[in-house]
Chains A and B, each alone.
Chain A
Amino acid sequence: MSDITAVPDVSPSHTVPKSPGRRSWSNHPLVQLTLVRFREFLREPEALFWVFVFPVLLAAGLGIAFRNRPADVLKIATVTPELAQALRRTKLLDVQQLPEPAAEEALRTGKVVLVASPGPAGSMVYQYDNTNPEGRTARMLADDAIQRSAGRSDPVASSDRIMREAGSRYIDFLIPGLLGMNLMGSAIWGMGFAIVDARRRKLMKRLIATPMPRRYYLLSFALSRLVLLVIEVAFVLGFGVLIFGVPMRGSLIDLVLLCVLGSLSFCALGLLIASRVSTIEAVSGLMNVTMMPMWILSGVFFSAQRFPDAVQPLIKALPLTAVIDALRLNMLQGGNLAQMAPQMGVLAVWLVVCFTLALKLFRWR
Chain B
Amino acid sequence: MSAPAALRVCKLRKAYKDVVAVDDLELEVHQGECFGLLGPNGAGKTTTIEICEGITAPDSGEVEVLGLNWKSDADRLRQRLGIQLQETQLSEKLTVLETVRLFRSFFRQGPDAADVIAVVELGEKQRSRVGNLSGGQKQRLAMACALVGDPDFLFLDEPTTGLDPQARRQLWDLVEQFKRAGRTILLTTHYMDEAEQLCDRVAIMDHGKVIALGTPRELIASIGVEHMVEFAAGDTGKRLDISALGRLDGVRNIRAENGSVQMQVTELHHAVPALLTELARQRIPLTELRTHSASLEDVFVALTGRHLRDE
Contact surface of A with B, Cβ cutoff 8 Å = 1-2, 4-5, 7, 9-13, 16-20, 27-29, 31-33, 35-36, 39-40, 43-44, 198, 201-203, 205-206, 208-212, 365
Contact = CB atoms under 8 A, between A and B. Distances in A.
A2 B173 contact: yes
Interface of B: 53-55, 75, 78-79, 81, 83, 85, 87-91, 93-94, 98, 101-112, 115-116, 118-119, 121, 145, 147, 149-150, 173-174, 176-178, 180-183
Given A4-B119, A40-B94, A209-B55, 4 more contacts: A17-B115, A19-B109, A29-B106, A40-B93
B88 A11 contact: no
Contacts of B108: 20, 211
A217 B78 CA distance: 16
Contacts of B150: 10, 16, 18
21 contacts: A1-B176, A5-B173, A7-B118, A13-B181, A17-B111, A18-B111, A19-B110, A28-B105, A32-B105, A35-B98, A35-B102, A36-B91, A39-B98, A198-B91, A201-B88, A202-B88, A206-B90, A209-B83, A210-B78, A210-B83, A211-B106
A327 to B, nearest CB: 33
Contacts of A11: 180-181
A10 B94 contact: no
**From B75, B79, B102, B104, residue with most partner A Cβ within 10 Å:** B102
A17 B147 CA distance: 13
**From A16, A206, A212, residue with most partner B Cβ within 10 Å:** A206
Given A29-B105, A32-B102, A209-B78, A202 B85 contact: yes
A158 to B, nearest CB: 68
Nearest to A27: B105
Contacts of B182: 12-13
B60 to A, nearest CB: 20
A211 B79 contact: yes
A39 B94 contact: yes
Nearest to A14: B181
A203 B83 CA distance: 12
A205 B105 contact: no
Contacts of A33: 102, 105
Contacts of B145: 206
A342 B61 CA distance: 54
A9 B55 contact: no
B83 A211 contact: no
Nearest to A197: B91
A7 B117 CA distance: 11
A13 B182 CA distance: 9
Given A32-B102, A202-B87, A206-B83, A7 B119 contact: yes
**From B93, B102, B105, B115, residue with most partner A Cβ within 10 Å:** B105
Contacts of B78: 209-211
A210 B103 contact: yes
Contact of B101 (A4, A16, A32): A32
**From A10, A32, A35, A40, residue with most partner B Cβ within 10 Å:** A10
A203 B121 CA distance: 23
A205 B94 contact: no
A203 B90 contact: yes
Contact of B88 (A20, A28, A206): A206
Nearest to A212: B106
Contacts of A16: 110-111, 150
A205 B98 CA distance: 19
Nearest to B118: A7
Closest 10 CB pairs of A and B: A201-B89, A211-B78, A32-B105, A20-B109, A43-B93, A11-B181, A212-B106, A206-B88, A210-B106, A29-B105
A202 B89 contact: yes
A14 to B, nearest CB: 8
Contacts of A210: 78, 83, 103, 106-107, 149
A10 B118 CA distance: 11
Contacts of B53: 209
A9 B83 contact: no
Contacts of A20: 108-109
B88 A10 contact: no
Given A203-B90, A209-B53, A12 B85 contact: no
Contact of B147 (A2, A10, A202, A203): A10
A39 B127 CA distance: 13
A198 to B, nearest CB: 8
